[in-house]
Structure 1
Amino acid sequence: MTGSSDKTIGVWDLATGRQLGKPLTGHTDTVTAVAVGTLSGRTIAVSGSRDTTLRRWDLGTAQ
């Protein structure tokens, strides 16, 4: 996963180097941090942004 100055988060296939699906959107400024883990059996990501928010993403639904 990558955070970007275009306010999005990219999810990547590490074997092929290709992006999986569309970038995740919701932040209103540069994404500066991303962490991935599991919560109740679901793969999630948490992102932090210069917009001073944290967002939790369900990677199974991309929301």
Structure 2
Amino acid sequence: MTATADPGDDRIDLVLFSLADSEAEAMLTARAACLRALERAPELIAWRLSDGAAGDGPGTR
């Protein structure tokens, strides 16, 4: 996993690498990991996945 964020920007771009049997499975796994992090990390309480997340969209606050 790598993450990038520009100062003053309300978004974080994540790149996750996953060994999966299909692209769909990899995307579901990545989305589930992000949702778990958003649910469990108090630091991320104001964050959400954008509507286009899971392959082509950034998460936003």
Q: TM-score range by the shorter chain?
A: under 0.3
User: Higher helix fraction: Structure 1 or Structure 2?
Assistant: 2
Which structure is richer in relative contact order (CA contacts within 8 A, separation 6 or more)?
Answer: 2
TM-score norm. by structure 2 comes to: 0.26
Q: Which has the larger radius of gyration?
A: 2
TM-score norm. by structure 1 comes to: 0.25
